[in-house]
Amino acid sequence: LLQKTVFMLAIAVLITLSSCQQPKEEKRPNILFIMSDDHAYQAISAYNDKLIETPQIDRIANEGILFTNASVTNSICAPSRATILTGKHTHIHGKIDNNFPFDTTNVTFPQILKQNGYQTAMFGKLHFGNNPKGFDEFMILPDQGDYYNPDFITPKGDTTIMGYVTDVITDLTLDWLDTEREKEKPFLLMYLHKAPHREWIPAERHYKAFTQKIFPEPETLFDDYKGRGTAAKTAEMNLRKHMTVSADNKIYPEVAKELKIVEPSEWGFKVFKSKYGRFTEEQKAQWDAVYGPINETFKKDYPGMTNEDYMRWKYQRYMQDYLACIAAVDENVGRVLDYLDQNGLSENTIVVYTSDQGFYLGEHGWFDKRFIYDESFKTPLVVRWPAKIKPGSVSDEMVQNLDYAQTFLEAAGIKAPQDMQGESFMPLLTEQADQWHRDVAYYHYYEYPGFHAVKRHYGIVTKEYKLVHFYYDVDEWELYDRLNDSLELNSVYHDPAYQDVVDSLTLKLYETRKYYKDSGELDEAYIQKYRDRGLIK
- Report the relative pairing of strands 65-67 and 393-395 from DSSP bridges: parallel
The interface region with ligand SGN, picked from 197-205, 225-233, 345-353, 490-498 by CB under 6 A, is 197-205
Site membership for Ca ion, residue 356 (CB under 5 A): yes
The interface region with Ca ion, picked from 74-82, 85-93, 467-475, 492-500 by CB under 5 A, is 74-82
Distances (CA, A) of 280 to 205, 269, 393: 16, 19, 46
| Out of 45, 68, 98, 131, the residue judged to bind ligand SGN by CB under 6 A | 98
**Of residues 12-41, which lie at the interface with ligand SGN (CB under 6 A)?**
37-38
| Out of 88, 198, 384, 388, the residue judged to bind ligand SGN by CB under 6 A | 198
Identity of the residue, 39 or 384, whose beta carbon is nearer to ligand SGN in the bound complex: 39
What own/partner pairs with CB < 8 Å and gap ≥ 24 does 166-170 have?
166/193, 166/194, 166/195, 166/203, 166/325, 166/328, 166/329, 166/332, 167/203, 167/328, 167/332, 169/123, 169/124, 169/193, 169/194, 169/332, 170/332, 170/335, 170/336
Identity of the residue, 187 or 252, whose beta carbon is nearer to ligand SGN in the bound complex: 252
- Report the relative pairing of strands 151-154 and 349-355 from DSSP bridges: unpaired
Site membership for ligand SGN, residue 321 (CB under 6 A): no
**Of residues 360-399, which lie at the interface with ligand SGN (CB under 6 A)?**
368
- DSSP letter at 217? P
Identity of the residue, 92 or 243, whose beta carbon is nearer to ligand SGN in the bound complex: 243
143 vs 130: CA distance, rounded Å: 9
Site membership for Ca ion, residue 248 (CB under 5 A): no
Identity of the residue, 58 or 199, whose beta carbon is nearer to ligand SGN in the bound complex: 199
Site membership for ligand SGN, residue 139 (CB under 6 A): no
- In sign, the C-alpha dihedral spanning 391, 392, 396, 402 is positive
Identity of the residue, 318 or 477, whose beta carbon is nearer to Ca ion in the bound complex: 318
We find the least distance from the C-beta atom of residue 206 to Ca ion, in angstroms, to be: 21
**Of residues 60-89, which lie at the interface with ligand SGN (CB under 6 A)?**
76-77
- In sign, the C-alpha dihedral spanning 393, 399, 405, 407 is negative
Residues whose CB falls within 8 Å of the CB of residue 445, separated by 6 or more in sequence, listed in order: 74, 75, 76, 370, 371, 372, 454, 456, 457, 458
We find the least distance from the C-beta atom of residue 80 to Ca ion, in angstroms, to be: 7
State the binding string over 266-285 for ligand SGN (x if CB under 6 A, else -): -----x--------------
The interface region with Ca ion, picked from 1-9, 20-28, 31-39, 372-380 by CB under 5 A, is 31-39
Site membership for ligand SGN, residue 455 (CB under 6 A): no
Site membership for ligand SGN, residue 197 (CB under 6 A): yes
DSSP state string for 103-133: -TTS--HHHHHHHTT-EEEEEEE--SSSPPS
- Residue 388 interacts, among Ca ion, ligand SGN, none and using kind-specific CB cut-offs from 5 to 8 Å, with none
- Judged by CB under 6 A, the number of residues near ligand SGN is 14
414 vs 116: CA distance, rounded Å: 8
- Residue 58 interacts, among Ca ion, ligand SGN, none and using kind-specific CB cut-offs from 5 to 8 Å, with none
Residues whose CB falls within 8 Å of the CB of residue 366, separated by 6 or more in sequence, listed in order: 235, 237, 238, 239, 360, 375
Alpha-carbon Rg for the chain in angstroms:
25
Identity of the residue, 409 or 454, whose beta carbon is nearer to Ca ion in the bound complex: 454
Q: How far apart are the first and last CA of the chain?
A: 95
Identity of the residue, 197 or 456, whose beta carbon is nearer to ligand SGN in the bound complex: 197
The closest alpha carbon to 175, from 353, 338, 336, 342, belongs to 336
Output the residue with the shortest Cβ distance to Ca ion: 77
Site membership for Ca ion, residue 38 (CB under 5 A): yes
We find the least distance from the C-beta atom of residue 107 to Ca ion, in angstroms, to be: 24
Identity of the residue, 356 or 488, whose beta carbon is nearer to Ca ion in the bound complex: 356
* DSSP E strand boundaries for 308-389: 349-355, 381-384
Residue 223 CA neighbour count, 13 Å, CB half: 26
- Residue 263 interacts, among Ca ion, ligand SGN, none and using kind-specific CB cut-offs from 5 to 8 Å, with none
| Out of 452, 455, 466, 469, the residue judged to bind ligand SGN by CB under 6 A | 452
| Out of 32, 44, 57, 77, the residue judged to bind Ca ion by CB under 5 A | 77
Strand partners, 30: 349
The closest alpha carbon to 109, from 502, 339, 401, belongs to 401
- Residue 283 interacts, among ligand SGN, Ca ion, none and using kind-specific CB cut-offs from 5 to 8 Å, with none
319 vs 394: CA distance, rounded Å: 28
Binding site for Ca ion (CB under 5 A): 37-38, 77, 356
Binding site for ligand SGN (CB under 6 A): 37-38, 76-77, 98, 127, 144, 197-199, 271, 368, 451-452
